[in-house]
């Protein structure tokens, strides 16, 4: 759906983005991660043509973006930024209606859409419709920003550190809501963040950038299992990497069939994460758990020894003994 081929961006002489190639499939959630100044925002702004690229090509559905009508492009792409960019003298409703008004939708259609979006983003209509940005908390303003970006039902959503300025609790909540929203709406999302945990939580495609270049890209699990270099590894959290990886897979993907031995006393549903399984082993002082289905019927076993062997063979290290 979105394709960047050997794209670069030069500001004067400095290369902000240096020869990056990237494909974002339709309906997937791509996170650009990297430390400040590595070119994430510049990459995003080139995709919606806020700034022109210097080299290479950017395609949307196979078409070079410079050939697309800017109005149509604006309708297809929703854009959310950290400072929300809400107009301070406009009500919540008017802010959300920005793009539909530009597109000259009929008034009733706009009103209905605003109401629908406020419900979708958890903003009670009567309470918020007439409020102004200064009357909103950071989290509420960010919801309005997301509602506005979704207003004309774009198929692409570009988000630039949308939750970066929020307190940790509000951030967690909005991350979860965004994940739920995405499971329902299947937008093609490019999400910029410097927070690897946020990226791991949300993305199905991770792109790590450094000094204008892409250092590594792939699924979160692939990067966690095989970070390309110490930089990627440190972004992924070094020592915590094992637990983060375990947080992304399910117990049932690691279980073995029930053996002849006495079943383990502790039981864990197969849909729980491996991280929860490891936590249960520590809590219950055991190396084995019985895995159960939704009706609490045993379907397999989770064994710590086997998990360690599995991770050894993944890394290609020889097994001891």
Ligand X SMILES: Nc1ncnc2c1ncn2[C@@H]1O[C@H](COP(=O)(O)OP(=O)(O)O)[C@@H](O)[C@H]1O
> Which residue, chain included where needed, has tokens 């081929």?
5
DSSP-based three-state secondary structure for 25 = coil
Q: How far is the CB of 71 from Mg ion (least distance, A)?
A: 26
Is residue 162 a contact point for ligand X (CB under 6 A)?
no
Q: How far is the CB of 77 from ligand X (least distance, A)?
A: 18
What DSSP line would sit under 211-266, residue for residue?
TTEEEEEE-HHHHHHS-SSHHHHHHTTGGGHHHHHHTTSBGGGT-B---SSPPPS-
Of residues 82-101, those binding ligand X (CB under 6 A): none
* Number of CB atoms found within 10 A of residue 279's CB: 15
Q: How far is the CB of 241 from Mg ion (least distance, A)?
A: 25
Is residue 40 a contact point for ligand X (CB under 6 A)?
yes
Give dist(CA 14, CA 26) in Å, integer: 32
DSSP-based three-state secondary structure for 190 = strand
Q: Residues 214-245, buried b or exposed e (16+ Cβ, 10 A)?
A: bbbbeebeebbeebeeeebeebbeeeebeebb
DSSP-based three-state secondary structure for 146 = helix
Is residue 82 a contact point for Mg ion (CB under 5 A)?
no
Q: How far is the CB of 15 from ligand X (least distance, A)?
A: 8
Helix (H) or strand (E) holding 18: strand 14-24
Is residue 193 a contact point for Mg ion (CB under 5 A)?
no
Give the per-residue contact string, 19-48, with Mg ion (x = CB under 5 A; - = no): ----------------------x-------
Region near ligand X per CB under 6 A, out of 29-37, 214-222, 252-260, 299-307: 29-37
Q: How far is the CB of 307 from ligand X (least distance, A)?
A: 36
Is residue 8 a contact point for ligand X (CB under 6 A)?
no
User: Residue numbers of the site for Mg ion (CB under 5 A)?
Assistant: 41
Footprint on this chain of ligand X (rule: CB under 6 A): 11, 16, 34, 36-42
């Amino acid at each position: 759906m979105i394709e960047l081929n050997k794209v670069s961006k030069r500001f004067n002489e400095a290369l902000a983005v240096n020869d990056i190639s990237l494909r974002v499939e339709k309906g997937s959630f791509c996170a650009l991660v990297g430390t400040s100044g590595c070119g994430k925002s510049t990459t995003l702004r080139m995709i919606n043509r806020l700034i022109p690229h210097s080299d290479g090509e950017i395609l949307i559905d196979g078409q070079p973006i410079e050939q697309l009508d800017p109005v149509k492009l604006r309708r297809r792409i929703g854009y959310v930024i950290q400072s929300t960019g809400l107009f301070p003298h406009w009500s919540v409703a008017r802010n959300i209606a920005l793009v539909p008004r530009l597109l000259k939708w009929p008034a009733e259609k706009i009103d209905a859409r605003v109401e629908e979006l406020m419900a979708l983003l958890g903003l009670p209509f009567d309470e918020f419709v007439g409020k102004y940005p200064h009357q909103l908390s950071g989290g509420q303003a960010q919801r309005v920003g997301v509602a506005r970006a979704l207003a004309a039902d774009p198929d692409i959503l570009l988000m630039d550190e949308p939750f970066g300025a929020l307190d940790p609790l509000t951030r967690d909540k909005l991350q979860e809501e965004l994940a739920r929203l995405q499971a329902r709406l299947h937008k093609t999302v490019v999400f910029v963040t410097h927070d690897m945990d946020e990226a791991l939580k949300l993305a199905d495609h991770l792109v790590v950038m450094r000094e204008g270049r892409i250092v590594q890209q792939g699924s979160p699990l692939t990067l966690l299992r095989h970070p390309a270099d110490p930089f990627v590894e440190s972004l992924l959290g070094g020592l915590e990497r094992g637990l983060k990886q375990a947080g992304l897979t399910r117990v049932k993907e690691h279980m073995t069939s029930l053996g002849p031995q006495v079943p383990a006393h502790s039981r864990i549903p197969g849909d729980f994460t491996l991280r929860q399984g490891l936590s249960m082993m520590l809590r219950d002082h055991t190396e084995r758990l019985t895995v159960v289905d939704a009706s609490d019927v045993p379907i397999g076993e989770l064994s710590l020894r086997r998990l360690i062997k599995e991770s050894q063979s993944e890394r290609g290290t020889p097994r001891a003994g």
